[in-house]
Structure 1
Amino acid sequence: MPSTLVLGGARSGKSAFAQGAAEALAAESGGRLVMVATAQAFDSEMTERIARHRLDRGAAWTTLEAPLDIASALEALGANDIVVVDCLTLWLSNLMLDERDAAAAVGELVEAAGRFPGTLWLVSNEVGFGIVPDNALARRFRDEAGRLHQALAHAADAVTLVVAGLSLRLK
């Protein structure tokens, strides 16, 4: 089934784009809407943000928490599932903070996405348009995100860039 990588900056509309596309497909097909969420609530602001996102999505969505292992979450889902993974850059930062092998995890994700029998949107922040960060950790994150996006863009059926709420299909 089709997979789409959706890239954009913070507050670009990328999540709304992916969720809207998933909801339209679910209305047509009767498939189950699933959000694979990667955020972790390390403070009260993030706890409130996560709760707001759940409320905004509404009861039609099933939420799976996968802050570190998206591949296993995808393997637990099926052909009738219409899935949005949001967001890959949060997932990447979770991996880095947990000192996991990001390259291995990206490989596992690419393989799992390729085997996934349902429809899949993978949402991520494009961070490569800005200046070179001034510290080693931020540069490493930017580089890892770029490699993640290249691997997924190569493997995905479609790639969409969202800027200011407008989508541009790249692949």
Structure 2
Amino acid sequence: MIVFDLMCADQGHRFEGWFGSSRDYEDQQNRGLLDCPVCGSANVGKAAMAPNVGRKGNQLPAFAKPAEDQSGTKAPTPVSNKAPVPAEYRQIIGELAKAQEKLLASSEWVGDKFADRARDIHYGEADEKAIHGTASKEEVAELVEEGIAALPLPLPVLPPDSKN
């Protein structure tokens, strides 16, 4: 399996594409099977990307390990294959992406310190401001128990220092 960063040439939307091989990507590209999941443009190509150097087998990051539910059973991983996306869904996703981008433009990225910073703001130890970052399910549950607003973002967000 190989992952390429792809980009819509018409609107500049970036997304990942997973392929069985480089030849698989080329075949799908030549047959016109690739399109932007946000706007539906077929004008899609590979985006510049950093090389991916694999970890040793015994160094799998925690986020890559299958999650377990409360019974100890491995939770299923969400998967999909290419399915036709109706035009109205692409429009809705595009509008959602624009709204989230606007929201994040007026918000501060705090990375994995989200829970601590949200508490500081809630309890008056820091100035009131909009923030976004990452938090574990447990951290979010604790914030909610304390009456602190913590909502998941509808679309994935890249940390500012990882953008090109």
Name the TM tier (shorter chain): under 0.3
User: Larger RCO: Structure 1 or Structure 2 (Cα < 8 Å, ≥ 6 residues apart)?
Assistant: 1
Decide which structure has the larger Cα Rg and report it: 2
Higher strand share: 1
Higher helix share: 1
